[in-house]
Amino acid sequence: MRHGLSVPNFGTGLDAARVAEWARSAEDAGWDGFFLWDHLFAFADGPVDVVDPFLALTAAACTTRTIRLGTLVTPLPRRRPLVVARQSVTLDRLSAGRLVLGVGSGAGPFEWDFCGEESDPVVRGEMLDEHLELLSRLWSGEPVRQEGRFYTVAGPDWAARCHPPSLQQPRIPVWVGGTWPGTRPFARAARWDGVVPMRVDGRWTVGDTAAVSARMRSLRDGTDAPFEIAVPGESDPADGSRRSTFADHEAAGATWWVEAVHPWRYGDPGQGEWNLDAMQERIEAGP
């Protein structure tokens, strides 16, 4: 099982340089992956700094050599496929093939209803499916024509050709996020390269990992292509039992442990300073 970090793309005092520093520290400390959230606004009142995840990960790619980089997760329905295709391939090539694209349909009104985006979550899911299929074709570098329900890339005797193709083949790995025990996100994930489950009603357990693993085996029956199950968690480097916890999740089917490193672990950022130093210390402590 590999170990990654999940870090917000917002926080008082956070900028792309700090993200790059965290990614380099994570690589030095032995983490296998460094993943940024993708939000337009912070989950707190007041002026809070936010960085664009693709630009910040570009800075991270320039300071690292081996660690996987990516978003967990990008709500694709509020991004244009052609723009995402160019951003992701550029970052994939810059990082020498280390990019993972985590995706989801998004939730909450702040980045949807209040910004004039699609408010119906069912429609957003349909947009996500069409977006992913188009994006995968655009990554090929071959001519693409599409006149879909949500996205059009076509003209008289014209097709879009996004060149160069992604460095990773057959495509940049796509991991799909979803709230367990939902249905549609996990059926969607089974068609791609990985799943990033989460709970909103409590901590993630070994039983949850086993249940997700069983669901994905059922949905992917007959498919032997590699598939990642990236489970969420929080571990204390001073806790000597954490290795057995990791082993239990691995035995239950997890291929990644994604450590959530966010300011809420160290107090309420809405009531004071965002404790970025404590986050840095957890990153430097390693998995």
Cα gap 216→233, rounded to integer Å: 20
Distances in whole angstroms, Cα of residue 158 to Cα of each of 155, 161, 256: 5, 9, 42
Q: What is the pLDDT of residues 88-145, one digit of tens each?
A: 999 999 999 999 999 999 999 999 999 999 999 999 999 999 999 999 999 999 999 9
Q: Please give the single-letter amino acid code of residue 131.
A: H
Question: 3-class DSSP state for residue 53?
Answer: helix
Q: Kindly report, residue by residue over 175-197, the tens digit of the pLDDT.
A: 999 999 999 999 999 999 999 99
Name the token pair of 8.
């917000």
Q: What is the pLDDT of residues 44-89, one digit of tens each?
A: 877 899 999 999 999 999 999 999 999 999 999 999 999 999 999 9
In sequence order, the β-bridge partners of residue 94 are none
